[in-house]
Amino acid sequence: MKPFAAKKSPWARDTRGIRGARRVTTAVLALPLSVAVALPLASPAAAQENAPQPNPSIFGDIVDPDSVPERIPQSIDDQDLPGLPDGVSVEKVEWLTDRWANVYINSAAMPGEPVKVQILLARDWYNQPDKTFPSVWALDGMRARNDESGWTLSTNIAQYYADKNVNVVMPVGGAGSFYTDWDKEQNGVNYKWESFLINELPAVLREGWRTNEQRAITGLSMSGTAAVNLAAHNPGMFQFVGSFSGYLDTTSFGMPMAIDYAINDTSGLSATNMWGPYGSQRWNENDPKQQVDKLKDSTVYVSSGNGNAGAYDVQGQIPGFPANPAAWGLEALANLTSRNFVSAAKKSGVEVIEKFRPSGTHDWPYWQYEMTQAWPYMAKTFGLSEEDTGATCAPVGDIAKTADKYRTQLGTCITNEYDAKDGGKVQDFRNGRVWWKPSTGAHATWGRISARYSEMGGADSWLGYPTSEEITIANGRGRFVNFENGAIYWTPETGAVPVKKDIIDAWGRTKWETGPLGFPTEAAADIDGGQWQKFENGVIVRNKDGKVQYVQGVIANKYIEAGGPSKSGLGFPTSDEIGIRGGAFSTFDDGNIYWSAATGAHSISRSEIFKAWGEEGYEQGKFGFPTSDETEENGVRKVTFQHGEIRMVNGNIEKDYKG
């Protein structure tokens, strides 16, 4: 699928960012909005009654989607899953925190760039490793970005669900798509979202993310429409469906034109390529009010404000009217179409949990509020126990002392402590974890380093238990945490990288991150029966016998580019870098690499040529440093030097000095 960036428009998923922008074209929205305008404007006092109120315990900071925080993955892993449909695979998994993974899925329905799906893991993901969990799907709005869901950009969804035993699933992208299968490709875009979401994503969630068949699907604005349609088209797949300010009537007079305008303004695409000509069968098939009878076995939640200025709006000049007219108009339209849907549901005998608020506009703070209000109905639908709907926990003992000391970093607990390896204990918190065993005591991990540690398996990994908290180094550039058998180092540029003790010791010979090697850039990898670990300016290598040496700078680049021990023909390093007058060199099993500023880095084997060069004093002698690698052509081996060439021809050494 060809990705593209949504354009800015009044039909925005965060209307706070468009104050002062042009209004929605009146001619296009005149018909549906003319009815919406007839909705009475409540007085300011009445408008606030029963409206959502800001509550620090529920609401976090609202992030403007135009200001995207930098999300640096702490590890990027492969995930080879069985049981996926033909043509579907996982390209990679990025771990952002202990509980947030980005999964990139190669789709058969939408080939090309992998489809990104954000997953927030259930509360008991770690302490009940055999348990499967229900899922809550949160679809994005009309102006969905290609890099991150609006739900994580603009709400506290990660914090809110942290203590709840469900996996939260957020597809990324799909601006103006209505998360449907489009009839035609346009401008290189061929949306097949329904095929992906229904036929491909569930298998990935089942096989890779311990997600069971209990599902809730929710959406806002455009995706409120999509959530209802997806549930109606696939009866029984979603036991709960929620629409927050959705457009739940797509065929009444004027609505197809309004939708077409919105899609075109968002993405430059046409709704007639989505569902065909206005009034065609596909428009009827994707009209929520006409499909409502298929939702009899689902819990249906519908909410909307009415456009009046509410708790999160700036009051306009007219009492009760918001300063942002687009936010008013869009919510009034959502209110109107949602009421049409509820009326159709009543005629079909479908029960709807309807929440029509006396105020509120088309904006993220209201959708965050509705997310929290819909949750109890989801939990009841899933049959979750009270324990699974929120945390009732308390730290005790040494873990409690550590949790209190680092409460700013950790947040509140979401589980009680539970058993871990070697008689230890671990307890999960909203932003990290605390680990304890008798020999190490209690230590907290949080942030990027904690994400990497948890992804590796925590105390079950080769690292063992933490023996320190985060320590700041390199004038604030980096952090590290010590573990029983190594450490994890982090910088914004390198991410979180685990390092074993013997490599740390070799690195220490260069003064760790303050020395020439810098920080580690990736985890150790197997090579030729040993291992090597790359750093910002070098590599540390462990040979088959466990001996560890470092290679740095240009010499390291030369060795790495040559492919390491076997491919380079040099074998494993047998020394750290050795400084000499005018340059440096490193020794290997079967040769050396020499470097000088004038010549660069070049390799030479321990051959007769090397011996002959040694007879002349090596690089300090009359031939100087090598200026080429050792080569063989037509049976002649040779190395060129700063002041000549040494060859081996038919087993005989020839020295060609050019002083």
Secondary structure (3-state) at 514 = helix
Number of CB atoms found within 10 A of residue 183's CB: 15
Residues in contact with 315: Cβ distance below 8 Å, sequence separation at least 6, in sequence order: 44, 309, 321, 322, 323
Rounded to 5 degrees, what are φ and ψ at 352? -125, 130
**Which residue of the set 331, 417, 455, 469 is catalytic?**
331
The DSSP secondary structure of 608-620, one letter per residue, reads HHHHHHHHTTGGG
Q: Which two tokens stand for residue 274?
A: 């989505």
Q: Which two tokens stand for residue 473?
A: 């180094």
The C-alpha atoms of residue 172 and residue 315 are separated, in whole angstroms, by: 33
Beta bridge partners of 261: none
C-beta separation of 594 from 604 below 8 A: yes
**Which residue of the set 75, 221, 359, 586 is catalytic?**
221
The DSSP secondary structure of 383-424, one letter per residue, reads T--GGGGS------HHHHHHHHHTHHHH-SBSS--EE-GGG-
The C-alpha atoms of residue 366 and residue 359 are separated, in whole angstroms, by: 10
Active site (annotated) includes residue 343: no
**Which residue of the set 200, 304, 362, 586 is catalytic?**
362
Q: Token match 């904006």: residue?
A: 363
Active site (annotated) includes residue 602: no
Residues in contact with 312: Cβ distance below 8 Å, sequence separation at least 6, in sequence order: 52, 54, 360, 361, 363, 365, 366
H helix or E strand, kind and range, residue 109: none
Active site (annotated) includes residue 362: yes
DSSP 295: G
The C-alpha atoms of residue 264 and residue 257 are separated, in whole angstroms, by: 10
C-beta separation of 109 from 89 below 8 A: no
Residues in contact with 562: Cβ distance below 8 Å, sequence separation at least 6, in sequence order: 568, 569, 570, 603
Write out the catalytic residue numbers: 221, 331, 362
